[in-house]
Structure 1
Amino acid sequence: MEDFERVVKISSASSEAMSVDNGGLEARKTLKLLRDFVNIQQRRARAYAHLKSGFADYMASGSDAAYQQLCSEITVEFNDCSKQVLEMESLFMSPEYGREDLAHLLRSVQIKEKQKLNLTATIQVLKKAGRPSERLVSHENCKFKEPMQHECVHVHEITEAAGTEEAEADAEYDNSLKGAINGVQDAVTAINEHLEEIRYEIAAIEAEE
């Protein structure tokens, strides 16, 4: 009888040890995915910095070809980041991980990142166009009579109605730009809050190791 009880205790202890080992393994796998996600967010931050500096160069030089090339490269980078995060979401949702809470957290970041990117593009489009009252006039359709003189088809009498229309266009432009900028700021705030939750999760897992 004592031998039987000894076997049961050994078997029970072995099962507990296996359970602890499996739990530790799952925690380490979760930790790796979360760290990988943080690295992806750092890639996104570098891409935004690159896009910002490239747009500043474009505004200064007017080199449209270089800017379009940059936009293509940034699009590829963001698409790759999104693809990897989607794979992480799927893993967290699977029975192997069973962490739907983390999957939903990553999904929330993805949604805000998409909003941030779309609004950033809107801001750059608006800044490229400029305020309606400050846009340069193209003279390609004007009639040149002498080398230093030409008849400008854009010259028109400034009326009260025209001035009101221009002011309204400027106001609409300013509101659109302000709305996009505020939208980006709100998205960044939400993303940072979600990242803080992920960092807490990483710290909790590390503390248990």
Structure 2
Amino acid sequence: MEDFEKKVSLKDSMEIEAENNNCSNKSNEILHLLRRFLEVQQRRAQAYARLKTGFSEYMKSGGELAYQQLCSEITVEFNDCSKQVLEMESLFLNPDYCRADLAELLRAVQIQEKQKLNLTATIQVLKKAGRPSERLVNHENCLFKKPMEHECVHLHEITEAAGTEDAEANAEYDNALKEAIRGVQDAVTTINEHLEEVRYEIAALEAE
């Protein structure tokens, strides 16, 4: 009977040790995934920096082709980042990891990143168009009688109604731009809060 108890006790301690080793391996894998996630976020930040620089250059020089090429490259980069994060999210939901909390955290970041990207595109479209009252006039429909002389269809008596219309269009433009900028700032704040949570999780796993 004593022998049997010793064997059972030995078996229990071996199972506990195996379980502890398994937990330790899982912790290391979770740690690796979370570090990879932070690397992906770093790539996203670098892509935004490139986009911002490229857009500033485009606004100065008007190099449409170079800007379009950059937008295509950035789109590929963002898609790849999203794909990687979705894979990590899926792993955290896997019964082997069973960390729905971390999957949820990554999903929350993804949602904010999508919002940030859409609003960044909106800001650039608005800035490219410019304020309605400052947009360049296109003279395609004007009548050219002699070179350097034409009857401009855009000349009209500046009435009070036209002035009000311009002011309303400008106000609408300004509000849309402010709203998009505020939306990007809110998304960045939320993303940074979530990243802080990821860093806390990494610190906790490292301390184990």
Match of 1:87 in 2: 87
Counterpart of 1:151, as a letter, is: E
- Following superposition, the deviation at residue 5 of structure 1 comes to 3.1
For residue 86 of structure 1, report the CA deviation from its aligned partner.
Answer: 0.9
CA apart distance, 1:199:
0.4
Alignment of 1:62-81 (within 5 A): 62-81=62-81
Q: What is the alpha-carbon distance in structure 2 between the residues aligned to residue 94 and residue 148 of structure 1?
A: 72
2:166 partner amino acid: E
Q: CA deviation at 1:77?
A: 0.9
The whole-number CA distance in structure 1 between the counterparts of 2:148 and 2:89 is 65
Match of 1:162 in 2: 162
Asked if 1:53 corresponds to 2:53, the answer is yes
Superimposed CA distance per residue, residues 71-92 of structure 1 (whole angstroms, 9 cap, x where no aligned partner): 1111111111111111111111
Identical pairs, percent: 72
CA distance in 1, matches of 2:44, 2:194: 15
Q: Equivalents in 1 of 2:37, 2:113: separation in Å?
A: 13
Shift of 1:63: 1.2
Name the structure 1 match of 2:194: 194
CA distances 1:130-185 after superposition (whole Å, capped 9, x unpaired): 00011111122222233332221111111000000000000000000000000000
> Could you tell me how far 1:70 is from its partner in structure 2?
1.1
By how many angstroms is 1:67 displaced?
1.1
2:129 is matched with: 129
Deviation at 1:10, TM superposition (A): 1.9
Distance between the aligned counterparts of 2:58 and 2:138, measured in 1?
A: 19
What do residues 82-113 of structure 1 show as CA deviations (whole Å, max 9, x unaligned)? 11111111111110110000000000000000
Aligned length: 208
Stretch deviating more after TM superposition (34-43 or 5-14): 5-14
| Structure 1 unaligned residues grouped into runs of 5+ | none
CA distance in 2, matches of 1:81, 1:68: 20
Report the aligned-residue RMSD: 1.1
Write the mapping of 1:75-154 to structure 2, written as runs, cut at 5 A.
75-154=75-154
The secondary structure found in structure 1 opposite 2:18 is helix
Which letter does structure 1 place at the counterpart of 2:104? H
SS of the residue 2:88 aligns to: helix
Which stretch has the larger CA shift, 191-200 or 64-73?
64-73
Provide the C-alpha distance between the structure 2 equivalents of 1:46 and 1:141, rounded to a whole number of angstroms.
Answer: 44
Which digits, 9 at most, give the CA deviation of each residue in 1:10-66, with x for residues without a partner? 222211110110000110111111111111100100110010001001100111111
Q: Secondary structure at the match of 1:97?
A: coil
Segments of 5+ residues of structure 2 without an aligned counterpart are none
